[in-house]
């Protein structure tokens, strides 16, 4: 039971419907982070809470879980690679604590996916980039057929 004395719903706007946001790129910051035990109790994951800070979906939250301590070495490798992408996107390459990553803007690539258990749509963060780090594709007329792929 929680004491709600002093709360008056008349003075607070209600939250909107929390449908998933559309696929896209969103500027966000990490507002919270916490190590939590896995459901199986065999490891821990880092849960990061991202808050969108610009545009129509400002203030919406997205959660990312990174299995940094897990008996499955592949899960740990995937989590470490994703954490590396996050660190690079916010410009903190050697954090000493997850709070070092807080309140630093980055661009999230968000996709919609169906949950396996309920079939409902949910958001999934699929990528991270520095703010302002967009790469414009070159028109085909500017790409020489003899250029090495990495020079295109």
d(CA 46, CA 1): 28
Which segments of the chain does DSSP mark as H helices, in order? Answer: 73-90
- Contacts of residue 131, Cβ cutoff 8 Å, sequence gap at least 6: 27, 105, 106, 107
Q: Which domains does the chain have, with CATH numbers?
A: 19-132 (2.40.50)
Owner of token pair 């929390």? 18
| The residue to which tokens 């070159």 are assigned | 138
Helices and strands: H and E segment counts in the chain? 1, 5
Specify whether the CB–CB gap between 2 and 12 falls below 8 A: no
**For residues 110 and 24, is the Cβ–Cβ distance under 8 A?**
yes
Taking only the tens place, the pLDDT of each residue in 112-122 is 999 999 999 99
What parts of the chain have a pLDDT lower than 50?
135-144, 147-152
Pair 126, 107: CB distance under 8 Å: no
């Amino acid at each position: 039971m929680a004491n709600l004395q002093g709360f008056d719903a008349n003075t607070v706007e209600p939250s909107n419907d929390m449908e998933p946001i559309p696929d896209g790129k969103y500027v966000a910051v990490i507002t919270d982070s916490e190590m939590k035990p896995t459901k199986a109790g065999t490891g821990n994951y880092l849960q990061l809470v991202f808050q969108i800070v610009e545009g129509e979906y400002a203030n919406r939250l997205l959660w990312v879980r990174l299995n940094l301590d897990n008996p499955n070495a592949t899960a740990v490798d995937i989590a470490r690679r994703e954490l590396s992408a996050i660190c690079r996107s916010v410009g903190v390459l050697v954090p000493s604590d997850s709070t070092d990553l807080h309140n630093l803007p980055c661009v999230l690539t968000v996709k919609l996916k169906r949950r396996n258990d309920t079939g409902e749509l949910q958001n999934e963060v699929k990528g991270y980039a520095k703010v302002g780090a967009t790469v414009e594709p070159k028109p085909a007329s500017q790409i020489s057929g003899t250029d090495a792929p990495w020079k295109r």
